[in-house]
Amino acid sequence: MKFNVNLKAGISIEIVFEGENKDNRVLTYAKDKDLFSGKLGEFYSYLPFDGDKQIFVGLGKKEELKEDEVREVFFKLVKVLLTNKEYEAQVEVPSIEHVDKNTFVKALVEGSLHATYRFDKYKTDKKELPEITINILTNKDISEDIKEAEAVIEGIFFARDLVNERAEYLYPETLANIAKSELSPLGVEVDVYDEKQCEELGLKGLLAVGRASERKPRFIVMKYLNNKNNNEVIGLVGKGVTYDTGGYSIKPTANSMDIMHCDMGGAGTVLGTMKLIATRKIKKNVIAVVGACENMVSGNSYKPGDIIPTLSGKTVEVLNTDAEGRITLADSVYYVTNELKVNKVIDLATLTGACLVALGEVYTGAVTNNQEFYNELSQAAKSAGERVWQMPADDSFRKLNKSSVADIKNTGGRLGGTITAGLFIEYFVANNVPWIHLDIAGTAYLSKPEKYLPKGATGIHVKTLYNLLNK
């Protein structure tokens, strides 16, 4: 897709707000016939073969328009253009008091690009998507806004491709190779630790989860240090279980184990974010960590009833081998907060089915130990159009994780499962570092499309993390 600035060419896209009148005969006709009124997401196409072509786009009530609604409308507009085989269009950026033109343009570009995503690499009869050109007319300098929006979508699509990739091709070693090949040229220092090196580091939780697989774990550490004048370092941790059978607490197949290539959704978001911030060269110091492994079944598997050590020295009673992600995250979060001594940390994980029950595929669940830090992330998510819901967290939930034979058990039971899973991770945050846990079990991989997000991988929270880090 191409974007030009102030080039008057292609079909005319007429933005109309609800109740707005314009001196346009086609618009008057459409309104008189009750074919179009300017309601949000409403379209009316006038496409004569030998005259001026116009598509009217409704943006609803002007005073109520939200940035994310612009993304959704232009996502739908590109679909309309493709359906009508119109491949070039021009649109004038409207003046809106509470949505400045630069913000509108970024949302326009993001929404339009979302409509181009495909994961069809394994289809033999795939068809190339025709290139769409959108010419944006405005009195503002928007060239940098277009570049930024394109980079954001590139990061999101990179994350989607990783999460959509099947486990036959994406496993700990290949994920680590991709991290190196994609991020190192952008100035990110990428260190990969193999199984023996993980043993030397003391990553006993990660190794326990991954030991049954012939494809052995990798520990991936990515350092983007681009602000020598500031000592603050933000840590990102992504769950990197590239395939999850559930272990001996085995999953059913349909709509469960068959989609567990997506269980590294947190790692996908983290790698997508690192690619984005490095591409944009933002002035921040960020260290990201992914403990990558497969949770498989063999005679060497870890088992329900086992007590396993972790990097922190704390022990975990295993009651459910399908609650494996939190064990890998225990080592990763402790490593980044204690060994690398980041100042703040965010972990992202497709962690619990309980989050799906509570929040569906619409909201990400959040648990935190620092309200001020969470408020910053919440604002970044709102601007990104990515919905997050903070869960309660107190000692009444923490005590559900207590074990009678180890320091902590890896499941607090069915009740409050999203919260107790998050608080399990909190137990391994060193030095009381401000921490946010994002449970993306419902939002990282969708069973059906939602707004401009496709079925399958979404790349959720690449934009949120970028907004937070770039403020």
| Whether 39 is catalytic | no
User: Among residues 345, 338, 403, which one has the least CA distance to residue 374?
Assistant: 345
What region, left, alpha or beta, does residue 17 occupy, with left being phi > 0 and alpha being psi -120 to 50 degrees? beta
- Burial tier of 139 (Cβ tally within 10 Å: 0-12, 13-18, 19+): exposed
Q: Is the dihedral of CA 365, 367, 373, 375 positive or negative?
A: positive
User: Among residues 261, 252, 400, 246, which one has the least CA distance to residue 321?
Assistant: 246
194 is an annotated ligand-binding site residue:
no
Element (H, E) at 58: strand 54-58
CB atoms within 10 A of CB 379: 14
What contacts 267, CB < 8 A, 6 or more positions away?
A: 162, 175, 238, 239, 240, 290, 292
Do 364 and 428 meet the contact criterion of CB atoms below 8 Å apart?
no
User: What Rg value do the Cα atoms of the chain yield, rounded?
Assistant: 24
Strands 218-225 and 285-295: antiparallel
244 is an annotated ligand-binding site residue:
yes
Identified catalytic residue from 326, 344, 409, 463: 326
User: Among residues 9, 62, 59, 6, which one has the least CA distance to residue 37?
Assistant: 59
* Structure-derived torsion over alpha carbons of residues 189, 194, 196, 201, reported in degrees to the nearest 10: 40
Identified catalytic residue from 140, 147, 251, 314: 251
- Burial tier of 158 (Cβ tally within 10 Å: 0-12, 13-18, 19+): buried
| Whether 326 is catalytic | yes
**Bridge partners for 457 per DSSP:** 445
- Reduced to 3 states (helix: H, G, I; strand: E, B; else coil), residue 110 is helix
263 is an annotated ligand-binding site residue:
yes
SS (H, E, C) 401-442: HCCCCCCEECCCCCCCHHHHHHHHHHCCCHHHCCEEEEECCC
Residue 117 — φ and ψ, nearest 5°?
Answer: -70, 135
Strands (E), 119-225: 133-137, 189-193, 218-225
Binding site residue list for Mn(2+): 239, 244, 263, 322, 324
Binding site residue list: 239, 244, 263, 322, 324
Positions annotated as catalytic residues are 251, 326
